[in-house]
Structure 1
Amino acid sequence: MVFRLTFAPGRVALLAAALAALLALAPAASVRAASLPGPGDVLPPLVFQNCPRPEDRAVLGVGDGPTFALADVRAELILFEFFGVYCPVCFEQAPDFNRLVRSLSRDPATAGTVRVLALAAGATPMELDYARGEMKAAYPMCIDPDFSVHKQLGEPKTPFAMLLRPDGTVLWSHLGRIEDPGALLNLIKSKL
Structure 2
Amino acid sequence: CHEELKKLDVDYRKAGVWCTCRDCGKSFDIPLTAHFCRDCHTTFTFEDAVFKDVYAYTLKEEVKEEASLGLVMITPISDFLMENGFKVESPAFLKGKSGTNHMFDIAAYKERGKTQKVTVIDLAVSEDVVSEQSVIALFAKIYDVSPDNAYLIAVPKMSENGKKMAELYNIKIIEAKNQKELVKALKEQLPRD
Normalised to the residue count of structure 2, the TM-score between the two structures is 0.31
Q: Which has the higher strand share?
A: 2
Normalised to the residue count of structure 1, the TM-score between the two structures is 0.32
Larger Rg: 2
Q: Which has the higher helix share?
A: 1
Higher RCO (C-alpha 8 Å, min separation 6): 1
